[in-house]
Amino acid sequence: MKKILVCTGGGDCPGLNAVIRGIVKAAQSDNDDYEVWGSIEAFNGILKDEPEIIPLDNNAVSGIHVKGGTIIKTTNRGNPLNFPVQEEDGTWTNIDRSEELMTKIKANGFDAVINIGGDGSQKISQSLFEKGVNIIGVPKTIDNDLSATDLTFGFTTAVQIASDCFDKLVTTASSHSRVMIMEVMGRDAGWIALHTAISGGAEICLIPEIPYDLANIIEIINSRYDDGRGFVNIVIAEGAKPKHGTVTGKASGEIGDQHIKLGGVGNALRAKLDECNCVAQVRTTILGHIQRGGTPMAFDRILASAMGVKAFDLIKEGNFGQMVALQNNEITSVKIADAVKTYNHVNLDHYLLKTARSLGISFGD
């Protein structure tokens, strides 16, 4: 009997359950004897004094591929290499609990670990691999910002959600002759914004990779109202920033979460437009976590299932330290070390940027 431990870490993403189901189904249909377990809230479950781990068999995963979220829960506050602990005086410090984690993995009889997560989680996977853990990574993020894979599951669903919302905002923008700003996720990569802008037909798309110039945005708005009436739909990624400016957000303040909480860039832009006596009324909609919730689209269920099955295959082959990837319409794998080396920004000569510009979408540059 071989035992596999599965974790989901970082922000949730439509398709996580389909990966879990893929791993379990592949393991159960294998002739060798495999048992799959889930650690609740990433590595936090296995690290508990009384480990919070649950057996994952065919019954446990039956039908879960159509559900959003993750049945084994997730957290962005559980890096075992930089784990927050409270001192007696109430202050918090971070400690390295990786040795303890490895002892727990061994003591509970696990032969291998599958870590499903984004950039941060895969950096943890790589560190654990270097310390001797038999680990496989599965890339996850709605932002599609992981390199080495052509796509991450969850991204397509997030784009569909954003695009559906954008369509609704277009009709109300048009009725009221307003400027509508829709803020979408995308910390450092503007993939969701770019895809939504093309799909919905935005006039303006603002992304982290291309700092915008307010004067240009005002010029475009004015030109749309030349005959007195018009409307403008803007899609803006949460990580977008003006030229010579900074991102809009603040330190999370949550123990163990080292991210800056982005959000509010849409309202900040609206305030600037109002200050400049914008020709029309401006309204902002922030989509936020709606983009991460709910049922994964068929495409994401399929990609996630294929990635789960591949993760199991890699374990069976003993090919550890690898991250599952989609490349040129094939499910393959790459070294985790290589996958986390570069970040998947919107490349300035990407064909979709050119497509968008040719469609008349401005990036405010």
Show which residues are catalytic.
Answer: 143
Give the interface segment with ligand F6P, choosing from 33-41, 55-63, 181-189, 273-281 (CB under 6 A): 181-189
Residue 82 beta carbon to ligand F6P: minimum distance, rounded to whole angstroms: 16
* Residue partners of 242: CB distance under 8 A and separation at least 6: 211, 212, 213, 214
State which of positions 118-137 bind ligand F6P (CB under 6 A): 118
Q: Toward ligand F6P, which CB reaches closer, 44 or 134?
A: 44
State which of positions 143-172 bind ligand F6P (CB under 6 A): 143
Does 186 help bind ligand F6P (rule: CB under 6 A)?
yes
Does 210 help bind ligand F6P (rule: CB under 6 A)?
no
Q: Are 116 and 122 in contact (CB under 8 A)?
A: no
Residue 254 beta carbon to ligand F6P: minimum distance, rounded to whole angstroms: 8
Does 11 help bind ligand F6P (rule: CB under 6 A)?
yes
Q: Toward ligand F6P, which CB reaches closer, 90 or 253?
A: 253
Residue 185 beta carbon to ligand F6P: minimum distance, rounded to whole angstroms: 3
Q: Which of 113, 262, 336, 353 binds ligand F6P (CB under 6 A)?
A: 262
Contact pattern for ligand F6P over residues 217 through 256, marking x by CB under 6 A: ---------------------x------------------
3-state per-residue secondary structure call for the chain: CEEEEEEECCCCCCCHHHHHHHHHHHHHCCCCCEEEEEECCCCHHHHCCCCCEEEECHHHHCCHHHCCCCCCCCCCCCCCCCEEEECCCCCEEEECCHHHHHHHHHHCCCCEEEEEECHHHHHHHHHHHHCCCCEEEEEECCCCCECCCCCCECHHHHHHHHHHHHHHHHHHHHHHCCEEEEEECCCCCCHHHHHHHHHHCCCEEECCCCCECHHHHHHHHHHHCCCCCCCEEEEEECCCCECCCCCCEEECCCCCCCCEEECCHHHHHHHHHHHCCCCCCEEEEECHHHHHCCCCCHHHHHHHHHHHHHHHHHHHHCCCCEEEEEECCEEEEEEHHHHCCCECCCCCCCHHHHHHHHCCCECCC
Q: Toward ligand F6P, which CB reaches closer, 282 or 307?
A: 307
Size of the site for ligand F6P (CB under 6 A): 13
Does 73 help bind ligand F6P (rule: CB under 6 A)?
no
Does 142 help bind ligand F6P (rule: CB under 6 A)?
yes
Residue 192 beta carbon to ligand F6P: minimum distance, rounded to whole angstroms: 8
Give the interface segment with ligand F6P, choosing from 62-70, 180-188, 218-226, 310-318 (CB under 6 A): 180-188
- Residue whose Cβ sits closest to ligand F6P: 185
Does 76 help bind ligand F6P (rule: CB under 6 A)?
yes
The residues binding ligand F6P (CB under 6 A) are 11, 76, 118, 141-143, 185-187, 238, 259, 262, 292
